[in-house]
Amino acid sequence: MPVTYNESKSKWCMGENCNYDTKEKAEAAERAYYANLEKKEVKNRDLAKSFDEDKRIFTSIALKADYRDSDGKFEDFWPKDVVSEAAWDFMENCQAGNISHIVNSDLLKVVESFISPVDFEMGGGFVNKGDWVVSLRINDPDLWELCKNGEFTGFSVGCPAMVEVEDD
């Protein structure tokens, strides 16, 4: 996605995303975008996700409730009540997507967000009662392909948190 200048918006663009005041910011976003593509190892632990080809809707779990998730360095645990509060706070105050916690982008839009009222199967994985499920419309064809081919595997919540260390 080359960096371009959009005269009518007076903004710099990375692909169709014209949110940047300077060429340097657009180029930094572009570098972050491509750096993410170069990551070789992807961990996907039976993540429930689905694709609506006609509407370009990507749906997945944003946070699993009452689940221990470890990346090998840190372990997270999100009780159901915290998952609900995070989902509601996101919808009230944000509703913005970004790519890899780096690039705020209008290439994707939140079109649905809910706390699952029941357990169900979705796209080869399982959604449990209390999980936060999000659907995004992917407006950019390149990003849509990255979602479909597994380069982008799901959602990640980036937020500050109160940390409590548990004894083994």
16-29 pLDDT, tens per residue? Answer: 677 778 888 777 76
Eight-state DSSP code of residue 166:
P
Residue-level pLDDT at 134: 92
Work out the average pLDDT over 118-146: 88
Residue 152 buriedness (CB in 10 A; 0-12 / 13-18 / 19+): buried
Per-residue pLDDT tens over the stretch 41-70: 334 445 667 888 899 999 988 888 888 776
Per-residue pLDDT tens over the stretch 77-110: 788 998 999 899 888 887 777 666 555 667 888 8
Please list, in sequence order, all residues whose beta carbon lies within 8 angstroms of the beta carbon of residue 129, skipping any fewer than 6 positions away: 65, 116, 117, 118, 119
Eight-state DSSP code of residue 165:
P
Residue 27 to residue 20: CA distance in whole angstroms: 9
Predicted TM-score (pTM) of this structure: 0.64
Residues in the chain: 168
Q: Has residue 113 got a pLDDT over 90?
A: yes
